[in-house]
Amino acid sequence: MFDPSTGADVASWIEDDGLLEDRLNVYRNNVFYSLTGSLSDLYQVITKLVGEEFFRAAASEFVRISPPKTGRILEYGADFPGFLSAFEPAKPLPYLADVARLEWAWHQAYHGQDSKPLSPEKLQSFPPERMAEISFKLHPTSRFVQSEFPVDQIWSANQDDAEDKNVDLGHGGAFLQVIRPELDVEVRQLSEGAFTFLMACENGLMLGEAYEVAVSREAQLDLTKMLSDFLLGGTFIEATINGK
């Protein structure tokens, strides 16, 4: 039914007045239009980059091969970036899949669990000599996107309220954190060291271990400044030593 090639058995259930295929198409079109519309709302920058027509065609192909498995529409579309990276007609835009990853991260942060950021006082309550043992819990809306393209610039330039519409593709890659500490989703450009540090924290490493990994990627990393930025930015919601 969904795939026109499997329509034959379905057709036998229906009164045929000569317009059977047209009538079936109303149902197919309704489903496709509604799902590709939801995807377009979610992937607004992709829609702008490729145009409505191209987007609907790509999204229809995605819906055909990866139809939703549940009725929870907010969870649908996670695999669209992966689909785009393999979608032949999109090959001339190699950054497209990474922009889509950023938009999916934004969507998840937007609908993610609200949570109160860690207070600086909590961090100061630990004995200084045990700082290296601190484990951080990241804000539940936090997501990471890494790309060899400046996808944050591409994303910003395609927002409705964008002031700077210029993107320098030669600008290099991006290490991004998407997070919503309060009401607004923020896309933050991090240094490679800070990005590595947060990823390490998320993977359960303690502060000392995470810093070691991070500094191996960025020798100049300033730990104090970085932690202060993270605290101000609501990056963490909890800090513990040995689970306390």
Partner 1 sequence: MQSSHLHKFSKDPIPARAGIGLKAQHYREILETPPDLGWFEVHPENYMGAGGPPHRYLEAIRRNYPLSMHGVGLSLGSAGPLDKDHLKSLKDLTDRYQPGLVSEHLSWSHGQEVFMNDLLPLFYTEESLSVVVDHVSEVQDFLGCQILIENPSTYLTLKDNEMSETEFLIEAAKRSGCGLLLDINNVYVCARNHGFDPMAYVSEIPGDLVGEIHLAGHQVFDIQGTELRIDDHGSAVCEDVWHLHAHALSLIGTKPMLIEWDTDVPELSVLMSEAVKADRIAVASEESKPSVKVS
Chain centre distance of CA 156: 14
Residues 183-242, interacting with partner 1 (CB under 8 A): 183
Binding of residue 113 to partner 1 (CB under 8 A): yes
Residue of 135, 149, 145 whose CA lies nearest to 93: 149
Chain centre distance of CA 221: 26
- Total site size for partner 1, rule CB under 8 A: 41
Q: Which residue number, 14 or 132, has a Cβ lying nearer to partner 1?
A: 14
Give CA–CA dist 214/154, Å, rounded.
27
Closest contact distance (angstroms) between CB of 16 and partner 1 is 9
- Letters for 135-174 (x = contact with partner 1 by CB under 8 A, - = none) are -----xx---------------------------------
Are 35 and 76 a contacting pair, CB within 8 Å? yes
| Host H or E run for residue 96 | helix 96-111
Are 182 and 148 a contacting pair, CB within 8 Å? no
Binding of residue 243 to partner 1 (CB under 8 A): no
Q: Which residue number, 31 or 231, has a Cβ lying nearer to partner 1?
A: 31
Give CA–CA dist 205/84, Å, rounded.
33
Residue from 4, 51, 74, 232 in contact with partner 1 (CB under 8 A): 74
* Binding segment (CB under 8 A) for partner 1, from list 42-50, 68-76, 129-137, 213-221: 68-76
Closest contact distance (angstroms) between CB of 29 and partner 1 is 9
Tokens of 39: 């995807």
Query: What type of residue is 65?
Result: I
Binding residues for partner 1, per CB under 8 A? 1-2, 10, 13-15, 17-20, 22-24, 26-28, 30-31, 37, 67-75, 109-116, 140-141, 180, 182-183
